[in-house]
Amino acid sequence: MVEDIRSSFIERVNTLEWMDEETRAATLRKANNMRVNIAFPQLILTQGGVEQYYQGVSLFYYSFFY
The reported pLDDT for the residue numbered 62 is 75
Coil/strand/helix, residue 24:
helix
Task: Count how many Cα atoms sit within 13 Å of the Cα of residue 56 in the half-sphere of its side chain.
Answer: 1
5 and 34 in contact (C-beta within 8 Å)?
Answer: no
Which of these, 37, 18, 14, lies nearest to 27 by C-alpha position? 14
CA angle (38, 43, 44) in 5-degree steps:
65
Above 60 in pLDDT, residue 50? Answer: yes
Q: What is the pLDDT of residues 13-49, one digit of tens each?
A: 999 999 999 999 999 999 999 988 788 788 888 899 9
Residues recorded for the chain: 66
Above 70 in pLDDT, residue 66? Answer: no
